[in-house]
Homo-oligomer: A and B are copies of this chain.
Amino acid sequence: MSEYVRNLWYMAAWDHEIPESGMLSRTLLDEKWLIVRLSDGAYAMLADRCPHRFVPLSRGRLENDLVHCPYHGLGFDRTGACAHNPFPAAPPSHVRVGTMPVVHAHRGLWFWPGDPAKADPALIPDFAFVDRAGMQRSSLTIRGNYELVSDNLMDLTHAEFLHVTSFGVNGSIFQGAQSVLNERDGAIWNNWDMQGVTPPIWAAAMLAEGDRVDQWLHMRWHAPASMALTVGLARAGTQRADLVVPQMVNPHIITPETQTTSHYFYDHEATPEAEALARQVFVEEDEPMIEAAQEALGAMDFWEARPAILETDAGAIRARRRLMQLRRAEAA
């Protein structure tokens, strides 16, 4: 199994996922972490494991911004210091719980598992677009390594086999042109552009019989696996000026839970139908493939399994290579 890249921002949760209690326990990069919302609106992340007897602090309680261990009652503050001792004595200063930098941005909580001195919030990829009316943010867990989920998203041709009904696709991608681009900020784009093709079924009602469309599917990737998908549809021959529907951008942000499971952060229109459709696509259509690939790999590394590389993998493979370079740089 590959190591994780440490000096990167990963998303831990949407802000609304922290419950009333102010504490959310989540496994991130194979370790249990406690995301804490403090009374001043700031957030902290503490290892969800008391340094004394290793029990989860999340089973304790948050009181006056201190997290109290459920087993022997020690209390920890946002810096990880022991700040409460149930005995009439000073809290033991040698007892500390681990912490990570955490930043609240784009409705998400982002953590930096590497060197805190390098944790520059400006490096968080831009997901400002998620904060718009009528949308709801959700998350789920996928049984597969986060790079297998990236592979899925960075090669949208799979929609023609897995999402035919749910997305109403019609094979137009096979007439499209693929381009893969790098940006200075580290983004990798895997873009599909289709010109003068038959419109997808869901758009038929907005078009006249026989109308052709230009369609584009642009996936932006930032390490480790924080993606944004732009979908556009315009009447053919209008230089994309005459949009059939407003251009949409959606987050597909993947964070490793473990080496074989991933958190998936996404959004959708704030209706029960849209919520159900998103779950259907991710859980019933994509996950079985990703999970099966994970099972087939077992303990093997992806490259060790000698995958056949297709032209359509260009973006996915470039993302995998980027991560490998980052891992090697950190190992060096």
Contacts and interface: CB of A to CB of B under 8 A. Distances in A.
A86 B160 contact: yes
Contacts of A292: 54-56, 59
Contact of A70 (B56, B96, B162, B174): B162
Given A86-B174, A289-B71, A310 B55 contact: no
A96 B32 CA distance: 41
Contacts of A312: 72, 87
Given A71-B158, A312-B72, A53 B307 contact: yes
Nearest to A291: B55
A297 interface: yes
A205 B231 CA distance: 74
Interface in A1-56: 32, 49, 51-56
Interface in A142-165: 148, 151, 155, 157-158, 160-162
Contacts of A288: 59
Interface string A162-190: 10000000010011000000000000000
A158 B54 contact: no
A87 B313 CA distance: 13
Nearest to A31: B296
B54 A161 contact: no
A293 B73 contact: no
A70 to B, nearest CB: 6
Contact of A72 (B53, B55, B88, B157): B157
Contacts of A160: 73, 86
A95 interface: yes
Interface in A298-317: 305-308, 310, 312-313
Contacts of A70: 161-162, 289
Given A86-B160, A157-B86, A293 B72 contact: no
B174 A308 contact: no
Contacts of A87: 174, 312
B307 A54 contact: yes
Contacts of A59: 288-289, 292
Interface in A80-106: 86-88, 92, 94-96
A49 B296 contact: yes
Given A87-B174, A174-B86, A292-B59, A310 B73 contact: no
A308 B157 contact: no
Most buried by B among A151, A305, A308: A308
Contacts of A174: 86-88
A269 to B, nearest CB: 27
Interface string A264-294: 0000000000000000000000001100110
11 contacts: A32-B296, A51-B308, A52-B313, A53-B289, A54-B307, A55-B289, A71-B158, A71-B162, A86-B174, A94-B308, A95-B310
Given A52-B307, A72-B155, A86-B157, 5 more contacts: A59-B292, A70-B162, A71-B158, A72-B161, A94-B308
